[in-house]
Structures are given as C-alpha cells and as structure tokens.
Amino acid sequence: MTQARQSAATAVVVVNLGTPEAPTAPAVRRYLAEFLSDRRVVSLPPLLWQPLLRGVILPLRAPKVAPKYASVWLDGGSPLAVYTRQLAAAMQQELPDLQVLDAMRYGEPSLARLLQRLRDEGLQRVLVLPLYPQYSTTTTASVGDVVARADGLALRMVDEYHLDDGWVAAVAQSVRDHRAANGAGEHLLFSFHGLPQRVADAGDPYPRQCEASARAIAAALGLPDDAWTLAYQSRFGRERWLEPATDTTLEALAARGIRTVDVIAPGFAADCLETLEEVSIMLAEQFAERGGTLRYIPCLNDSPAHARALAAVARRALDQWA
C-alpha cells in the first residue's frame, strides 16, 4: 500500500466520549441525559431507568457536577474537547495525505453527523479510532454502534491499542520525563476508569486489558512488582465496581508509610474531569490530608509522541485494509 493511494479520500476520525458544552447545570444535564441513556452504558430496562434518571439522578447530579467542570474548564472549552481537538491536529501533521478529524460519541462534534457528512462528500474510506486504549462494551462498542448504523461509507474501526508498542513506549516515556523533572515518587499508581463488576463478569475484556497495559508500561520502565499498583476510579452508582478502588488504594499506600505517589491514568487519552478534578485535585487533597504528596502525570494529550503513536496505529489499520 503506497501513501498516494491513502489519499485525502481517506479520513481518520478520532472519537472520544463527549463532554458538556458549558460548565453549567443545564449543559451538564443535557450531556449526562444522552450519555446515561445509552444502554451500552446503563443496561437497565428503559421503563425503569428513564424515570429514575430524569426524576432523580439528573436533577441531583447536574448541579453537583457542574462546579467540578468549572474548576478545570479551559479557555477553549472542556479539557476533554480541547485536548481531543489538539490531538487530532497533531495527528494531521503526522498524516498529511489523510484527513484527520475529531468527533464525540455523545454531544458535539457528533460522530453520527460527521459520518453522514463524509458520506455526502464522497469519501472513499473512513477509519474510526476510538480514543480508548482498552476495549470495553461500555465505550468502544458504543462507538461501534454508531459506525454500524452509518451506511453508504466504507468504514472500519480500531478496537483497541492497549499493547501497541508505540503507545506503551509513549506512556512509559511520559513517566520517565515526569520523574526526571520532579524526582521519582516512591510508588507508581495506575488509575483506570472503573466499570461495574457485573459488566466484567459478563465477559467485558476491559479489566484484563487494563492489567496488561499496566504490566507492559511497568516492564518498559523496569519497575519491580512492589513499585506499582493498578486501581480503578470514578465509581458511579451503588453496585459493586471493579476493585481495588483508587481512593482506598491511596489510603492503603499512606498507611504503609509511602509519602510520594506518582499517579498516571493510561486509560484516558486526554485529560478530562475524571483525571483533572477527581485525581489531580480531589484525590491529591485526600492524600495530602494523610501526609502524602500525590503527583499527577498528565495524559498524553496532544504530545508529539502520542500523535506519532496513534498515527502509526491508524496507518497500520489502513495498510491492513488495503
């Protein structure tokens, strides 16, 4: 496959979750209403879930979460949107013969509408790259639903890249850079977004892939087993989620007398509410109350190493398609 044949008639669409348009309760409510109505995310019967969602959860959660968004909001908008846009632009530099575009599964810029537009423009091939290194039915498969509904386009999707050599190397290098600048913390905590245990029990490969990613990154760094831990953050609702939880893991590390912990969140391609507010503000405050220092290592965002790694993932998928 030559680069000439992968012409601008081919597009690469990087897709992230979606995020509110503004850090206000009405905007957060609109966002959560769409996101939490996806049966890939919450699988309860709609006749049960929709009244609960609209009558209880959205009215309580939107005003509670809006100020959290406000605390991390950037000039260009929500961090997730800003970094995803910038990452697509950085990947465009790496893939000058292709069109690189960014979209969101929920809200704007809408993936479903972007695919319609690309069909109307007569694009030959569209590669969809969900910005989830680890596959989950709750995230990746939901992007797959939109891809499956789009017709009149030759479409393919990258399912996961959790052990991609370039990606693992980029994450490992970001840890080395952070430690070179700040001194090595005593412990490295890998914090991944959680999932209901029920979803994992039903066969979702996500936790296995998180473990494999963490192990590969730790190996690339030459870390012994007792120098790192994997945990899951961002629990939502009352049922049991994947364990161990990030907050209790930090408590346990503090109890062991560990004073400086570096935290990295390699399940997130771009910094967002869950990394900036939950980890780098709230969990850092809680750890400080126990006498420790939590040093948050940012996501790869629009770094050149990230753009190069994901461009290579896309290029390989297109070559295999040819």
Ligand X SMILES: C=CC1=C(C)c2cc3[nH]c(cc4nc(cc5[nH]c(cc1n2)c(C)c5CCC(=O)O)C(CCC(=O)O)=C4C)c(C)c3C=C
CB of 207 to ligand X, least distance (A): 9
CA end-to-end distance (rounded Å), the chain = 6
| Positions in 201-260 near ligand X (CB under 6 A) | 206, 234, 236
| Residue with Cβ nearer Fe ion (6 or 209) | 209
Q: Of ligand X, Fe ion, none, which one sits near residue 204, judging by CB under 5 to 8 A according to partner kind?
A: none
Q: Does 25 bind ligand X (CB under 6 A)?
A: no
From 240, 224, 220, 223, select the one nearest 232 (Cα to Cα): 240
CB of 279 to Fe ion, least distance (A): 10
CB of 244 to ligand X, least distance (A): 16
CB of 198 to ligand X, least distance (A): 10
CB of 246 to ligand X, least distance (A): 14
Cα separation, 212 vs 162, in Å, equals 8
- Coil vs helix vs strand at 281: helix
Q: What is the DSSP string of 235-273?
A: --SSS-BSSSBHHHHHHHHHHTT--EEEEE-TT-SS--I
| Positions in 208-247 near Fe ion (CB under 5 A) | 234
| Positions in 78-107 near ligand X (CB under 6 A) | 78, 80
Residue from 29, 178, 193, 306 touching ligand X (CB under 6 A): that is: 193
> Distances in Å between the alpha carbon of 135 and those of 16, 55, 129, 132, 157?
13, 32, 12, 7, 12
Residue from 11, 13, 15, 42 touching ligand X (CB under 6 A): that is: 42
Sheet strand arrangement including 293-297 = 228-233, 187-193, 260-264, 293-297
Cα separation, 250 vs 99, in Å, equals 43
Q: Which two tokens stand for residue 166?
A: 């370039």
Name the site residues for ligand X (rule: CB under 6 A). 17, 19, 32, 41-42, 61, 65, 78, 80, 132, 136, 138-139, 193, 195, 206, 234, 236, 267-268, 272-274
Pick out the residues of the known binding site for Fe(2+). Answer: 193, 274
